[in-house]
Amino acid sequence: MTLRVAVLQMSSGRDVHANQEQFDDLVERAVGDGARYVQSPEYTTYYGPSSGFADAAEDLDGPFLRHVAELAQAHRITIHVGSLLTPGGGGRFRNTSVVISPAGERVAVYHKVHLFDVAAPGIEFNESARIEPGTTRVSAPLGEFHVGLAICFDVRFPELFRSLALDGVTLQALPAAFSAATGPAHWEVLVRSRAIENQVYVVAAAQCGSQSGPPTHGHSFIVDPWGEILAEGDATTSGVLCADLNVEEVRRRRSQIDSLGLRRPDAYGGS
């Protein structure tokens, strides 16, 4: 019932080949640390101006994901590509998260639902100008766990995470390229809140620094269902963070405080 997970904290830029080499190196390090589930950040293969999206994007059966499938199969691990660009419609693209099993099979694909359209102090960004939003929530089995998929800005929408918890999710994935402008005030608070209120593990691989896009906050996290931080990255250093997760901890915390069972949707609407 124990799963050793690894988050890859990356500093991706506009050089797709260099990003993929960084990814490969960190995966090998994670395997060396005994990880069975490895998660990379949002925009793993390209983080830069939208003028480079067309060259960086690839289909789900493209060369990078075929390579990831080979890695997963060779090491007998689950690899979760936090996100990469895939083609969308009308000249736009999708911010796509992909989970590949130890058999090299694609078991989950999630297109980011909530897009980063903000005008806040220190950051103005309009992700929807080039990215087409997803429309459905996604989860998948992961050994004894059930993993829910979300990406970065999704963390500000607790209804998505609650609906995934009601679907049976016990481990919530949250790859990110969280803004350095809002990160110090919001990132840790939001990640731990989603873990506490749903009594799930949250595994959040993050981009750090800034090679060619808006500066990112770093601080990858692995958080337990009580909101305790099991592992945390810093603001600028690429690397691998690992922790051992036990699904019984989810069950134990839910038996202590039944946040899901004691809901009153009749009082406030919704499901």
Q: How far apart are the first and last CA of the chain?
A: 30
Burial class (CB in 10 A: 0-12, 13-18, 19+), 15: middle
CA-wise closest residue to 158 among 188, 185, 198: 198
DSSP summary character for residue 90:
T
Is residue 181 within 8 Å of 123, Cβ to Cβ?
yes
Strands 145-149 and 171-173: parallel
Catalytic residues: 42, 112, 152
Determine if residue 200 is left, alpha or beta; phi over 0 gives left, psi from -120 to 50 gives alpha, anything else beta. Answer: beta
CB count within 10 Å of CB 33 equals 13
- Helix 158-166, helix 183-198: angle, nearest 10: 20
Instruction: Reduce the DSSP state of residue 26 to 3 states and report it.
Output: helix
- Helix 63-75, helix 16-32: angle, nearest 10: 10
* Residue whose tokens read 């808006």: 214
